[in-house]
C-alpha cells in the first residue's frame, strides 16, 4: 500500500464517498487481503449467489455479501474516491457495475479497488498488521485463531489451553473491532496474554458484527479472515459447514468450587459444587457496581468489563423528552435537572428545545429535513455527554419516530437511553398556548406547526408516558425520578 502525501492531481476531480462503518471495515479487509480471495465489492450476480448458496458466482465459498451502497447520483461515475469519516481518501473504486439491491432497493457499486493509503484511524492502530505480515512469520504447525468480540475469562483461558495442548498449536488472537468498546476489549485480551501459550500473537481486526445477526455466517466470515492471517483452526461455539478452516469447539468447562479450579465438566467429581456466572448475572453485578469474583475472571479483565459497562449509578444516561409544543417538556425536564443536581453525584446538561434552536441549531427551519437535523445534533451532543458518564436531558418536540430511533441508537452505543413521552392532549397544549403559537398556527400564520399542520408520530417505545393535564409538575418530575431510581441510575433518597 502506498503512503501518498495528498490526493494525486488526477484524482482530485473525482466524486468522493464515505462508506458506513461496516463497509469501511470491509474496505480495509479487502485492501489488506484479509478477505482473500475477494479483491473488491461484489456485483449483483456474486451477491445473489452468496446470499442464496454461500458461494461466489465462480463457485468459491464466501459467506456474506460484501457490498457497497451509495446514493443513486453516484452510480453514473466511472471512478469514485472512498474516504474515511474524516475525509481522508483511502482507495479509488473503478466501477465495473452499478446495481440495485432487490431486497433493500439501495444502489450498490462493484469493481476493483486501487489503494491510496492504509487506514490510520482507531485505537491500538500500532498493533494492526496485514495478513501477509503475520502469516509469513508464524512458526510451522497448527495455529489456533481466537477471533472474538468478547474478553477471555478463566473458563475460556482453560479451554484454550486444553485445545492448544491437544493440537500442539500456537495461538493467534484476533480481537474483532467495531463494537462499542473496542479499546476495553483489546486491553482485556492484552491483560491475559501471560496466561496464553508462549508465542501467542494478538492482531486487532476491524470486523463489526453485521446487522443480520446470523451467528453461523459470522463464524464463517471469521474463519475466512483467520485463514488469511495464517490460522489453521478457529475456536468456535459450534461446528459449522463451509468454514475456511476447521472449527474446534471446546468441551464444556465449569468451576469446581470444592477444589477452586476450572476444569472440564467431565472431570468434576459428581459430589462437587459447580459454579458459573451467566452473562445475565455478570451484567447484574456490573450494573450494581459489585466486584466480579476472582474465580470467574482475572482482576485486570474485570476492570475492563467495568469500563465497558460501568455501574448504573455512574453510567452515562440520556433522558429524552418528546411531545407537542406546550405539553410540559421544558417544565418537567428543568424540574428533573434541578432534582438531580440537588441530589448530587451526577453532572447534568439540559438540552432544551428552545435553547438548542437559539444556539446549536440556529438558522434551522421547521421543515422535516431541518427538524431531523436538529434532533440528530441534539442526539450527537447527548451521546457524547453520555459517553463521558454524564446525564443529558433533552426536551425537543422530536416528532418523527425514525429520528428518535436514530438518537436511541447513537446514545445506546455510549450508555443508556430513556424515552419519556409527554403525552398531554393537544387540546390542553392549545388551551395553555403559553407563547400564542397555536393561535397563530390556527390562523395560518405559522405553517407546518406540529399538531396543527404538521405531524407528530406518537412513540410506541416510550419508557414512561406522562399526561401533564392530570399531573402537577412536581408529580411529573417525581414519576421520572421514580423510573430512574427503579432502573438503578439514581440512588433512592
Q: Under rule CB under 6 A, which residues in 417-456 are in contact with ligand PPS?
A: 435, 437, 446, 448-450, 454
Using CA atoms of 217, 220, 226, 231 in order, give the dihedral in degrees to the nearest 10.
160
Shortest distance, CB of residue 423 to ligand PPS, whole angstroms? 14
* Integer Cα distance of 218 and 148 in angstroms: 11
CA distance 459 to 307: 32
* Residue number closest to ligand ADP, CB atom: 328
Of these, 375, 411, 422, 490, which contacts ligand PPS (CB under 6 A)?
A: 375
x/- letters, 388..407, toward ligand PPS (CB under 6 A): --------xxxx--------
Q: Which is nearer to ligand PPS, 308 or 426 (CB)?
A: 426
Task: Give the one entry of ligand ADP, ligand PPS, none that residue 366 binds, where binding means its C-beta sits below a cut-off of 5 to 8 angstroms depending on kind.
Answer: ligand PPS
Q: How far is the CB of 426 from ligand ADP (least distance, A)?
A: 12
Give which of 345, 456, 334 is closest to 393, Cα–Cα: 334
CA distance 184 to 192: 13
Indicate the Cα dihedral angle 220, 184, 82, 147, nearest 10°: -20
Which of ligand ADP, ligand PPS, none interacts with 40 (beta carbon under 5 to 8 A by kind)? none
Query: Cβ 418 to ligand ADP, closest distance in Å?
Result: 17
CA 409 – CA 340 distance, rounded (Å): 24
Which of ligand ADP, ligand PPS, none interacts with 449 (beta carbon under 5 to 8 A by kind)?
ligand PPS
Candidate list 224, 371, 404, 421; residue touching ligand PPS; CB under 6 A: 371
Contacts of 166 (CB under 8 A, 6+ apart): none
CB nearer to ligand PPS: pick between 253 and 438: 438
Tell me the C-alpha distance between 353 and 357, whole Å: 6
CB of 459: closest distance to ligand PPS in angstroms? 13
Residue 407 · residue 419 · CB < 8 Å:
no
Q: Contact, 280 vs 364, CB < 8 A? A: no
* Residues forming a β-bridge with 99: 108
Comparing CB distances to ligand ADP, the nearer of 236 and 323 is 323
Query: Any contact of residue 374 with ligand PPS (CB under 6 A)?
Result: yes
Residues interacting with ligand ADP, by CB under 6 A? 323, 325-332, 395, 432, 434, 468, 471-473, 476
Q: How far is the CB of 476 from ligand PPS (least distance, A)?
A: 15
CA distances, 92 to each of 35, 68, 96, 207 (Å): 18, 13, 12, 21
Q: How many residues bind ligand PPS (CB under 6 A)?
A: 21
Contact assessment for residue 404 and residue 398, using Cβ atoms and an 8 Å cutoff: yes
- In angstroms, give the least distance from the CB of 425 to ligand ADP: 12
Nearer Cβ to ligand ADP (154/329): 329
Question: CA–CA separation, 235 vs 146, rounded Å?
Answer: 6
Please list, in sequence order, all residues whose beta carbon lies within 8 angstroms of the beta carbon of residue 33, skipping any fewer than 6 positions away.
Answer: 130, 131, 132, 228
Question: What b/e string do you get for 201-219 counting C-beta neighbours within 10 Å, with b at 16 or more?
Answer: bbbbbbbbebeeeeeebbb
When the beta carbons of 117 and 432 are compared against ligand ADP, the nearer one is 432
* Smallest distance, ligand ADP to C-beta of residue 326, A: 5
Q: Is 330 annotated as a binding residue?
A: yes
In 84-239, the DSSP E strands lie at 89-94, 97-100, 107-115, 143-148, 170-177, 201-202, 205-206, 233-235
Please identify, using beta-carbon distances, which residue of 154 and 371 lies nearer to ligand PPS: 371
Q: Is 325 a residue that touches ligand PPS (CB under 6 A)?
A: yes
Q: Between 113 and 356, whose beta carbon lies closer to ligand PPS?
A: 356
* Peptide bond before residue 37 is cis, with ω within 30 degrees of 0: yes
Q: Residue 448 binds which one of ligand PPS, ligand ADP, none, with CB within 5 to 8 A depending on kind? A: ligand PPS
Report which residue's Cβ sits closest to ligand PPS: 353
State yes or no: 223 annotated in a binding site. Answer: no
Is 331 one of the binding residues for ligand PPS (CB under 6 A)?
Answer: no
Q: Which of 185, 196, 184 is nearest to 159 (CA)?
A: 196
Work out which of 78, 354, 458, 461 binds ligand PPS, going by CB under 6 A: 354
| Distance between CA atoms of residues 229 and 343, nearest Å | 53
Residue 431, contacted partner among ligand PPS, ligand ADP, none, CB below 5-8 A by kind: none
The residue among 284 and 458 lying less far from ligand ADP, judged by its C-beta, is: 458
Cα separation, 376 vs 384, in Å, equals 12
- Is 361 annotated as belonging to a binding site? no
Binding region for ATP = 323-330
> Which residues of the chain form contacts with ligand PPS (CB under 6 A)?
325-326, 330, 353-354, 357, 366, 371, 374-375, 396-399, 435, 437, 446, 448-450, 454
Amino acid at each position: 500500500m502506498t503512503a501518498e502525501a495528498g490526493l494525486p492531481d488526477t484524482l482530485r476531480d473525482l466524486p468522493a464517498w464515505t462508506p458506513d462503518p461496516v463497509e469501511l471495515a470491509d474496505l480495509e479487509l479487502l485492501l489488506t487481503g484479509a478477505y482473500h480471495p475477494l479483491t473488491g465489492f461484489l456485483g449483483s450476480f456474486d451477491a445473489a449467489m452468496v446470499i442464496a448458496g454461500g458461494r461466489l458466482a465462480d463457485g468459491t465459498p464466501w459467506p456474506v455479501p460484501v457490498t457497497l451502497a451509495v446514493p443513486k447520483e453516484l452510480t453514473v461515475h466511472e471512478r469514485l474516491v472512498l474516504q474515511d469519516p474524516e475525509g481522508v481518501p483511502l482507495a479509488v473504486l473503478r466501477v465495473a457495475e452499478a446495481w440495485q439491491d432487490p431486497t433493500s432497493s439501495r444502489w450498490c457499486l462493484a469493481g476493483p479497488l486501487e489503494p491510496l493509503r492504509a487506514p490510520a484511524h482507531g485505537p491500538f492502530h500500532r498493533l494492526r498488521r496485514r495478513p501477509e505480515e503475520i502469516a509469513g512469520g508464524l512458526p510451522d504447525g497448527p495455529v489456533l485463531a481466537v477471533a472474538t468480540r468478547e474478553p477471555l475469562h478463566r473458563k475460556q483461558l482453560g479451554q484454550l489451553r486444553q485445545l492448544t495442548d491437544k493440537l500442539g498449536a500456537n495461538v493467534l488472537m484476533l480481537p474483532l473491532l467495531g463494537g462499542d468498546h473496542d479499546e476495553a476489549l483489546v486491553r482485556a485480551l492484552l491483560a491475559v496474554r501471560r496466561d496464553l501459550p508462549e508465542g501467542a500473537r494478538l492482531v486487532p481486526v476491524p470486523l463489526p458484527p453485521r446487522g443480520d445477526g446470523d451467528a453461523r455466517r459470522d463464524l464463517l466470515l471469521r474463519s475466512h479472515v483467520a485463514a488469511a492471517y495464517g490460522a489453521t483452526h478457529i475456536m468456535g461455539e459450534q461446528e459449522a459447514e463451509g468454514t475456511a478452516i476447521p472449527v474446534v469447539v471446546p468441551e464444556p468447562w465449569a468451576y469446581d468450587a470444592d477444589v477452586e479450579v476450572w476444569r472440564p465438566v467431565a472431570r468434576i467429581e459428581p459430589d462437587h459444587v459447580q459454579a458459573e456466572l451467566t452473562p445475565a448475572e455478570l451484567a447484574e453485578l456490573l450494573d450494581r457496581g459489585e466486584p466480579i469474583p476472582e474465580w470467574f475472571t482475572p482482576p485486570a479483565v474485570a476492570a475492563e468489563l467495568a469500563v465497558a459497562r460501568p455501574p448504573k449509578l455512574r453510567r452515562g444516561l440520556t433522558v429524552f423528552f418528546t411531545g407537542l409544543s406546550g405539553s410540559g417538556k421544558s417544565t418537567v425536564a428543568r424540574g428533573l435537572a434541578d432534582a438531580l443536581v440537588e441530589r448530587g453525584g451526577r453532572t447534568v446538561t439540559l438540552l432544551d428545545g428552545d435553547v438548542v434552536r437559539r444556539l446549536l441549531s440556529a438558522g434551522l427551519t421547521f421543515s422535516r429535513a431541518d427538524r431531523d437535523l436538529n434532533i440528530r445534533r441534539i442526539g450527537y451532543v447527548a451521546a457524547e455527554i453520555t459517553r463521558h458518564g454524564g446525564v443529558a436531558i433533552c426536551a425537543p418536540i422530536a416528532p418523527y419516530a425514525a429520528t428518535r430511533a436514530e438518537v436511541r441508537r447513537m446514545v445506546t452505543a455510549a450508555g443508556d437511553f430513556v424515552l419519556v413521552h409527554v403525552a398531554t392532549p393537544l387540546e390542553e397544549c392549545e388551551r395553555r398556548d403559553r407563547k400564542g403559537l397555536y393561535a397563530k398556527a390556527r390562523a395560518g400564520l405559522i405553517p407546518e406547526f406540529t399538531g396543527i399542520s404538521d405531524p407528530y408520530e406518537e412513540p410506541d417505545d416510550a419508557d414512561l408516558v406522562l399526561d401533564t393535564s392530570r399531573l402537577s409538575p412536581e408529580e411529573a418530575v417525581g414519576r421520572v425520578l421514580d423510573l430512574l431510581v427503579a432502573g438503578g441510575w439514581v440512588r433512592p433518597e
